[in-house]
Amino acid sequence: MLFARRSYFLPTFILVFLTYVLFSSLPPGADIAYFDHHAGFGSPPPGPPPRPGDRIHYRKQAEQHPVTEYIPLPSTAPSPIPRIQHDFPAESMFARWRRVKKQNAVKNAFKHAWKGYKKHAWLRDELSPLSAEYRETFGGWAATLVDSLDTLVIMGLMDEFEDALEAIEYIDFSTTSATQINVFETNIRYLGGFLGAYDLTDGKYPILLKKAIEVADMIYGAFDTRNRMPQSRWEWTRSALGMGIQPSRNTILAELGSLNMEFTRMTQLTNDPKYFDAIQRITDELETAQTRTSIPGLWPLMVDAHDMEFNDPRYTVGGMADSTYEYLPKEHLMLGARTNQYRRMYDAAMSSIKKHLLFRAMTDDGKDILFPGNIRAKGATIEPQAEHLKCFLGGTVGIGAKVFDRPEELSVARKLTDGCIWAYDIMPTGIMPEILYVSPCKKQDDCEWDDDKWHKDILRRFSKYSQGEEAAQSIIKDNRLPPGVIDIPDSKYMLRPEAIESVFIMYRITGDKELQDAAWRMFRSIDKITHTRYAHAAIRDVRDTHSDQLDYMESFWLAETLKYFYLIFSEPDVVSLDEYVLNTEAHPFKRPLESS
């Protein structure tokens, strides 16, 4: 272990040791609230950040559990992959004018937010868009800057991109004031951000791959455990001091199962097998477990990564699980269809998702829409919870339907996407809340509107089933529930991308202009109420057209949300889904050529 100042070794070692003893009864990360892979994990202690010389710096120690033989990238001949994108016809001059006008509106929103970040939070993780201050939420390594690199390229903001390239030279990934590093978030935002920009610029800027290697080699240290499963909330100072680490018995599914795209791309670009080996071991464990969970085909919300047990009774495709399922068809694409492993896993997952989680929502206009709910055990009643984070599923099912030749599921993908569009359209602000509960249909193929059922579902949800119609009306009024909605326990909008993500993907798959129209409604509604003097802010209540704004702007606003809005109004060959795979943070990785 190297220290910038040798005199700090003893007090630093004592501090780390006492901290470890104090919290050793908790699994790594257990004291940190988790919302999903797109949620902040708290702010650093008040006061100025420590001087770089006062910090421990991570340097690789001799591995305690070295790999004796790496699992190589599959070298078998690739299988043909069906085309994903619609064959778009040439557009008229008038249609192009309208489309570009909308695209420029999105670009202006990005430029406004980027200007505020650059002026008030440069090289910090996030801008606070109301106070013009900053937050350090993801290691203090300029998360918004790195996350936005490929968006700058896509939007043609090359002067700003060049400025960002100069700035990333100053990011030191060997140290942080955080006591734990969230490996998953670091992977998708930082590693993904560098790789996406590198691929999108055809490798023209070597600094991007250099920084990607820095990040990947750093978080690779989290895999040095007895079973080579990563410690997802990595106690990096233990590794830096040559002390052992172990994976947590309470590991979030998404944090375990969503590292494969980025690590696969690292091996493809560097020819270093260690990255692919690391994630392939996880995939093999997940595939083995998939048939023996209490709901075969699905994995529970939490995993005991120490003993690789899957006993948690909760199942969902929402927050804390989402990207594990999202990456099944995407990793198949990243591997050029050289293995059927991800096809098998996707087949099993989709069969179980359709059987156990999907339900049709009852709407007063008779729309045929689907949502994925939650379930606690096989045979239990679906919890009819719609969640903004689950809105990714329409796009994932759409991609799966194309690449795995499952055309019958395109209608499922569209109904899931339409469900999230509906949840936007019914709110006074035109924006879907974080979480809402909806009234499920008794039958998917026969679902006429029923006022009485809606009211009974509301009373049941609020544990007032015996109180009757007057109580139902009071709940509707007090909670401002649109028809079909039975509860809105979290009414915020956090600038999230999942709904526009699926709208974009389904537009590229189908060419349906109605999806572009829906995207424009969504963008105008979001831009109107989130705009601040300095950037854009999350809002407290989507039921209130004059909602309070919140002093948060996560990096995914620039990395994902505005990128997807821009791309749906781009020409279809810009980041074509037949040339790129977008990771869960919307970073585009080049798909391998069939001959490579």
Decide if pLDDT at 42 tops 80: no
Please, what is the end-to-end C-alpha distance for the chain in angstroms?
A: 40
Instruction: Give CA–CA dist 242/247, Å, rounded.
Output: 16
Decide if pLDDT at 542 tops 70: yes
Decide if pLDDT at 11 tops 50: no
**Residue 174 CB-half CA count within 13 A:** 17
Enumerate the domain spans of the chain. 6-439+484-587, 450-482
Decide if pLDDT at 33 tops 60: no
Decide if pLDDT at 41 tops 50: no
Is the model more confident about 12 or about 161?
161
Q: Which of the residues are catalytic? A: 185, 322, 434, 498
Written as six digits, the tokens of 328 are 């099944």
For residue 39, the model assigns a pLDDT of: 41
**Measured between alpha carbons, how far is residue 523 from residues 221, 267, 345, 569 in Å?**
41, 37, 35, 11
Q: How confident is the model at residue 594 (pLDDT cuts 50, 70, 90)?
A: low
Encode pLDDT of 119-154 as tens digits.
999 999 999 999 999 999 999 999 999 999 999 999
Decide if pLDDT at 268 tops 50: yes
Q: Angle at CA 15, nearest 5°, toward 14 and 20?
A: 100
Query: Amino acid letter at 237?
Result: T
* pTM (two decimals): 0.91
CA 547 to chain centre: 26
Averaged pLDDT for residues 463-472: 92
Encode pLDDT of 478-495 as tens digits.
999 999 999 999 999 999
Encode pLDDT of 179-226 as tens digits.
999 999 999 999 999 999 999 999 999 999 999 999 999 999 999 999
Phi, psi of 512 (to 5 degrees): -75, 115
Phi, psi of 415 (to 5 degrees): -65, -35
For residue 24, the model assigns a pLDDT of: 35
Binding residues, as ranges, are 584
Decide if pLDDT at 587 tops 50: yes
Check: CB of residue 384 under 8 Å from CB of residue 439. Answer: yes
Query: Quick one: residue 26, left, alpha or beta (phi over 0 = left, psi -120 to 50 = alpha)?
Result: beta
Q: Mean of the per-residue pLDDT values for the chain?
A: 92
Encode pLDDT of 52-102 as tens digits.
456 799 998 999 999 999 999 999 888 899 999 999 999 999 999 999 999
Encode pLDDT of 400-451 as tens digits.
999 999 999 999 999 999 999 999 999 999 999 999 999 999 988 889 999 9
Averaged pLDDT for residues 487-513: 98
Instruction: Give CA–CA dist 568/500, Å, rounded.
Output: 9
Instruction: Give CA–CA dist 289/293, Å, rounded.
Output: 6
Decide if pLDDT at 30 tops 50: no
For residue 378, the model assigns a pLDDT of: 74
Encode pLDDT of 160-184 as tens digits.
999 999 999 999 999 999 999 999 9
Q: How confident is the model at residue 44 (pLDDT cuts 50, 70, 90)?
A: very low
Binding residues for Ca(2+), as ranges, are 584
Encode pLDDT of 355-392 as tens digits.
999 999 999 999 999 999 999 987 789 999 999 999 99
Instruction: Give CA–CA dist 458/476, Å, rounded.
Output: 8
Q: At what angle do helices 498-510 and 410-425 cross, to 10 degrees?
A: 130
DSSP category for residue 508: H
For residue 54, the model assigns a pLDDT of: 63
Listed in sequence order, the residues at least 6 apart from 231 whose beta carbon sits closer than 8 Å to its beta carbon are 28, 183, 222, 225, 245, 246, 247, 248
Q: Say whether domain 6-439+484-587 belongs to CATH 1.50.10.10.
A: yes
Encode pLDDT of 304-322 as tens digits.
999 999 999 999 999 999 9
Beta bridge partners of 133: 128
